[in-house]
Amino acid sequence: MKIQTNTPYIARRATGMTVLALAVASVFLPAHAEDKAAVLEAVDVVATGAPAYKTETANIGPLGEKSVLDTPYAINVIPAELLENQQLKSVREAFRYMPSVQGENIRPQTRGLQAGVVQNTRIDGMNIAATTDYPIEQFDRIEVLNGLAGALYGPASPAGTFNYVLKRPTETPLRRFSVGYASQGSGSVTADISDRFGEDKRFGFRVNLLDEGGESYVDRSKLDRKLASLAFDVQLTSDTKLETNVSRYHYTSKGLPGTFELGTGVVYPTAPDPKRVGYGQPFAGDDNVTETYSARIKHRLNQNWNLTAGILKQSSDRASTVPTNTLTNNAGAYSVKVATTTFSLDEILSYTLALNGRVNAAGMTHDVVVSTTGFEWDRYTPYTTGAITLGTSNLNNPTVFNQPGNIPNFKNRYKAQTTRQQAITVGDTIGFNEQWSAGLFLSQSWIDQYGSNPNGTVAPAKSYNDGGLSSNATISYKPQKNMTVYASYADSLQQGDTSGAITLAPYRSKQWELGYKLAYEKLNFGAALFQIERPFAFAPAGGVFAVQGDQRNRGLELTANGALTRDLTLYAGLTYLDPRLLNTASATPTNKQIMGLPRIAGNILLDYRIAAVPGLAVNLNVSHLGSREGNSANTYKVDGYTVADLGARYSTLLMGRPTTWRIAINNVTDERYWANITPSGQNGYTGTGAGTGTLGAPRTIRATMQMDF
């Protein structure tokens, strides 16, 4: 393992960021005595008990904040404390802790189905782009609802709903700063500052700042992350609250391994060493700027009725030159191209409006919701597109190429596509008694898509106007107050797939789910059996892209999270998945497993507080993925992997300030593995059966020192 520091560079980062952060905080320093006592009390809690990692509620779109135990859906929540203790840097890294979710280096997915670009992913319940990186530093928690949710959120792939919850102003003053180091020479400085002011502290703010940069785990690579985020709240009246947010995130990653594709007759080899220079190119990668603005107003009409409205505007500006290495034979030869065909700008305006209330009638309760949600999404593509060939190379002796002079100007672009989507939802959850309840939700949706040519004319093959109804019915039974058994059926529209110049009309997915939840005071358990069916679109060799088959995914999900003992915390999950193609027009993939999806996926995080040394804790995280089919004909498998991460933290007082030191060694055995094998098409088969592979990261070290002022 190579560990290389770049002390002057890290020092410059720390100095500049610290000056900026202290300037923001200085208005509120020094802390009041009672505030300091509160922080010291928090440190004492860390020293005397393990973290909980157990979340009682989650935001279920138009239903609002609901009890996870009482909600008839499979829901995973990664809380802030876990995100912080594991030193995670992006939302994609958080997905590895949920075995039903895959999301590293690909669009996120649950239950073996990949999300749409916008339809499945949200910040505070409003649609955003899934195709850019999001820093974990601005989020309080990550919520995932597995499977279909079209009756609640509108048309979407049955890939699940991913909701990122922004940090909000704290009730007591917060002035938290940290400096960090990561292999092999990357330094970071962060600040998290919050306070309230004004009469009755009706105004509140929270600022999150991040500056990270240096070399990543490959020589001559570059990682640069800069975030400025502000959350500002106003308590307009005792019943009305306005929440606003603004953020800008600049993410640059160059020189890391590119993606690997396969030529005809070629299979995925044993995963090579991701640290080798040449699997990526020093000039190639991502340079993304994401700006997000949002506002929500929450109004309590009375003790039973609430109104919530929100609007979000996002610009995701991307200059993507990630290299594609196409393996041309089984001896390791490959050709290298720089991909420049990606849409370079996504502009999204999304919104939500929900009225929730409870009515008591005829001895029953009715939790009623009427809501609308939707978005307008514009996509821009450069006038000059197409892959640029760099040359040929070999896995045993990878080549570093010079930067070509014909990389296009990504900002010289035109509006290539506009999508408008809206859904109106009505629903009622009926409580018959303390044990039995049932829910019914209906959503009428409209989808409009307009494609344009570079000269501004309409592209009819990429345009359509359609709509339809999505539904969800549930029934729940509580044998005891801390148990829920539920069954549900859902069907949902999803936007049609696109291949080349052909865009298909929307089609319908269906899901059946049977679940069980058990909640103790400090520990939660969950289990869910499911089956998802949807039409399957592909183009057989020499054929036309169309719906020509069915996809059926069956599976079982098991989860457990919370405190096993006073000193030991668990956050774990296990998923079994059987994803198959049925009734396809081509005989090759019929009744075959979908390539790239493992039968077994599991993750277990154990966090142990060492009682003999107050403030000291250690953790172990183990991720396992079973073998995966390497092609659509299922003629060979790609090896699975088991990756272990080790970590430790120590909380104490330094110069009278609460301070936490953290260190983590990720992939401690330096396992070489294919992190993802994904089909070339979102549906999983394009007639060629080829896919795209991405390498997992090698052994890396992360360390931070966090101090509260």
Q: Report if residue 510 sits inside a domain.
A: yes
Instruction: Give a yes or no: residue 410 inside a domain.
Output: yes
311 within some domain? yes
Confidence (pLDDT) at 483: 97
622 assigned to some structural domain? yes
Q: What pLDDT was estimated at residue 689?
A: 56
Q: Which residues of 222-251 are buried (b: 16+ CB within 10 A; e: fewer)?
A: bbbbbbbbbbbbebeeeeebebebebebeb
pLDDT digit string (tens) for 362-397? 899 999 999 999 999 999 999 988 889 999 999 999
Q: 432: left (phi > 0), else alpha (psi -120 to 50), else beta?
A: alpha
Domain count across the chain: 1
Structural domain includes residue 1: no
Q: What is the per-residue pLDDT across 534-581, written as a single tens digit (0 to 9) for each? A: 998 877 666 777 888 899 999 999 999 999 999 999 999 999 999 998
Q: What range does the domain containing 342 cover? A: 7-708
Quote the pLDDT of residue 687: 56
Residue 396, classified by CB atoms within 10 Å of its CB into exposed (0-12), middle (13-18) or buried (19+), is exposed
335 lies in some domain: yes
Query: Rounded to an integer, what is the distance from CA 75 to the centroid of its chain?
Result: 14
Number of H helices, E strands in the chain: 5, 42
Q: Which of 122, 207, 209 is nearest to 164 (CA)?
A: 122
CB 109 within 8 A of CB 159: yes
Quick one: pLDDT at residue 103? 75
Block mean pLDDT (10 aa), the chain, length 709: 43 46 43 42 49 91 94 96 95 93 81 91 96 95 94 92 97 96 91 96 98 95 97 97 98 95 92 96 96 98 96 96 94 90 91 96 94 96 90 96 90 93 96 97 93 88 86 97 97 81 83 97 96 85 78 96 95 96 80 91 97 96 95 91 97 96 97 90 59 93 96
- Cis bond upstream, residue 511 (ω within 30): no
Whether 106 maps to a domain, the answer reads yes
DSSP 135: B
Residue 2 located in a structural domain: no
Residue 5, pLDDT score? 42
Which CATH number do you get for residue 564?
A: 2.40.170.20
Asked if residue 479 has a cis previous peptide bond (ω within 30° of 0), the answer is no
Tens-digit pLDDT profile for residues 100-135 = 988 776 788 899 998 889 999 999 999 999 999 999
Q: Per the confidence metrics, is the pTM higher than 0.85? A: yes
Q: Which residues of 348-383 are buried (b: 16+ CB within 10 A; e: fewer)?
A: bbbbbbbbbbeeeeeeebebbbebbbbbbbbbbbbe
Looking at residue 500, what is its pLDDT? 67
Count Cα atoms within 13 angstroms, Cβ side, for 301: 10
Amino acid 270: pLDDT: 96
Q: What is the dihedral of CA 26, 28, 30, 32, to 10 degrees?
A: -170
* CA nearest to 692, candidates 159, 264, 268, 130: 268
pLDDT of res. 11? 45
